[in-house]
């Protein structure tokens, strides 16, 4: 059977969706799957679309399965089913293999709240980065944040850290304590969370920013100070699957050390190189138009609509504070020689805004 990382009921399409990651040699797109519901109803899955586009080191490929739900299940809070591979070579044995008694949950509230612009990311023990990341992006137009928590549930402090933002309606924390399958890398977990987030929110989020928590989207046109300003009133956007963001590292001269308690990430890192990182070398990130995305992997859409690159000088750029990320201290970084205080100015406004919202003195 395919390795399945998540499955859920999608009431917008009246279907159950399964998301997983596979090796290229696994030809699941040639197989026939069936969902057997606990009331005895049987539903054939839609044809599996092959993911044949290679990205990156130890390439891993995606699989998405969809089965229609019986009408009687649409309002149930949960139900069980079995997912099986249909045996098409031996009619005496109906199924080759089966995942049995899977409990499928529906959204807690339906219809769900719609957002024009949201963000989705995965973290593991990165709590110090998150308040500034959320407050900055909320100030410039992000309405909601889906944060996948890869820490073991019993050890995680993320819900406690994010409680003010959860209570204020900005953040949803999604438990995601998966570990890589045998022979695969951590990329499996990252790719799976990205596509789970995309498929869960195809019908309630128009645009989704996919960046890490040391990466910040910066509007560059003073007449368009919010991210949604670049996503509206443009008919050419209709068929796009993504707007690509050029990476621009920010840091400190001479790699000086810091304390998480000293200033903000913006104030600690006010220098940059003279130009952004070249495109297509694994540093670009994306703002995704979810209705036009089918398969996605970290730095680009694998299957979906066309893409457009934002002008990093006059439209949008991605400011990357990689120097402060404790997981990447050995990362190859450029020389930071050009002073640029523009992010500090925006952060000052964002912090003042959230001081009022959260009642901070």
pLDDT tens, position by position, 152-173: 989 999 999 999 999 999 999 9
How many Å from the N-terminal Cα to the C-terminal Cα in the chain? 55
Helices 342-357 and 130-139 pack at an angle, to 10 degrees, of: 90
Q: Quick one: pLDDT band at residue 231, thresholds 50, 70, 90? A: very high
Q: Say which residue, 259 or 62, is predicted with more confidence.
A: 62
C-alpha 194/C-alpha 211 separation (Å) is: 10
Residue 97: count other Cβ atoms within 10 Å of its Cβ. Answer: 11
C-alpha 171/C-alpha 149 separation (Å) is: 12
Distance of CA 135 to the CA centre of its chain: 18
CA separation, residue 10 to residues 66, 104, 121, 228 (Å): 10, 10, 21, 26
Place of tokens 């220098």: 271
Q: Residue 15: which H helix or E strand, with range?
A: strand 15-22
Backbone angles phi, psi at 195, to 5 degrees: -75, -30
Show the tokens assigned to 330.
Answer: 């050995």
- At residue 153, the 3 state secondary structure works out as helix
C-alpha torsion angle, residues 320, 326, 327, 329 (rounded to 10): 80
Q: Quick one: pLDDT band at residue 89, thresholds 50, 70, 90? A: low
Q: Which residue, 63, 22, 28, is CA-closest to 184?
A: 22
How long is the chain? 361
What pLDDT does 96 receive?
78
Q: Quick one: pLDDT band at residue 150, thresholds 50, 70, 90? A: very high
What pLDDT does 97 receive?
87
Specify whether the CB–CB gap between 120 and 197 falls below 8 A. Answer: yes
Q: Which residue, 128, 218, 205, 216, is CA-closest to 172?
A: 205
Average the pLDDT over 95-121 and give the result: 84
Q: What is the DSSP letter of 29?
A: G
Residue 84: count other Cβ atoms within 10 Å of its Cβ. Answer: 21
Give me the residues paired with residue 249 across strands.
320
What pLDDT does 202 receive?
93
Min mean pLDDT across 12-26, 62-76, 253-267 is at 253-267
Flag whether pLDDT at 328 surpasses 90: no
Encode pLDDT of 35-56 as tens digits.
999 999 999 999 888 887 766 5
Q: What is the DSSP letter of 254?
A: G
Q: Is the dihedral of CA 313, 316, 317, 321 positive or negative?
A: positive
Encode pLDDT of 117-145 as tens digits.
999 999 999 999 999 999 999 999 999 99
Q: Quick one: pLDDT band at residue 324, thresholds 50, 70, 90? A: confident
């Amino acid at each position: 059977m395919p390795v399945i990382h998540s499955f859920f009921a999608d009431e917008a399409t009246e279907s159950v969706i399964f998301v997983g990651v596979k090796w290229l040699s696994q030809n699941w797109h040639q197989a026939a799957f069936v969902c057997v519901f606990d009331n005895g109803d049987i539903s054939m899955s839609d044809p599996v679309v092959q993911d044949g586009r290679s990205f990156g080191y130890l390439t891993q490929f995606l699989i998405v399965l969809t089965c229609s739900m019986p009408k009687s299940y649409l309002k149930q809070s949960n139900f069980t089913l079995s997912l099986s591979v249909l045996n098409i070579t031996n009619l005496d044995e109906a199924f080759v293999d089966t995942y049995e008694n899977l409990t499928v949950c529906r959204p807690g509230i339906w219809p769900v709240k719609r957002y024009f612009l949201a963000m989705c990311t995965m973290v593991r023990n990165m709590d110090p980065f998150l308040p500034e990341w959320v407050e900055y992006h909320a100030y410039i137009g992000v309405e909601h944040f889906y944060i996948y928590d890869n820490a073991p549930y019993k050890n995680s402090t993320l819900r406690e850290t994010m409680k003010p933002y959860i209570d204020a309606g900005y953040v949803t924390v999604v438990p995601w304590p998966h570990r890589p399958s045998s022979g695969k890398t951590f990329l499996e977990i990252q790719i799976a969370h990205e596509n789970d987030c995309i498929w869960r929110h195809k019908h309630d989020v128009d645009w989704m920013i996919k960046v890490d928590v040391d990466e910040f989207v910066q509007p560059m046109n003073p007449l368009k100070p919010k991210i949604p300003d670049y996503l509206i009133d443009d008919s050419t956007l209709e068929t796009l699957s993504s707007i690509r963001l050029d990476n621009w590292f920010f840091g400190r001269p001479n790699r000086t050390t810091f304390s998480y308690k000293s200033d903000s990430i913006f104030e600690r890192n006010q220098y940059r190189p003279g130009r952004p990182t070249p495109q297509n070398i694994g540093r670009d990130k994306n703002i995704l138009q979810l209705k036009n995305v089918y398969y996605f992997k970290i730095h680009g859409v694998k299957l979906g609509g066309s893409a457009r690159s934002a002008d990093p000088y006059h439209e949008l750029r991605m400011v990357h504070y990689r120097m402060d990320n404790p997981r990447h201290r050995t990362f190859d970084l450029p020389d930071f020689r050009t002073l640029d205080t523009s992010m500090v100015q925006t952060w000052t406004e964002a912090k003042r805004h959230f001081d009022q919202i959260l009642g901070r003195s």
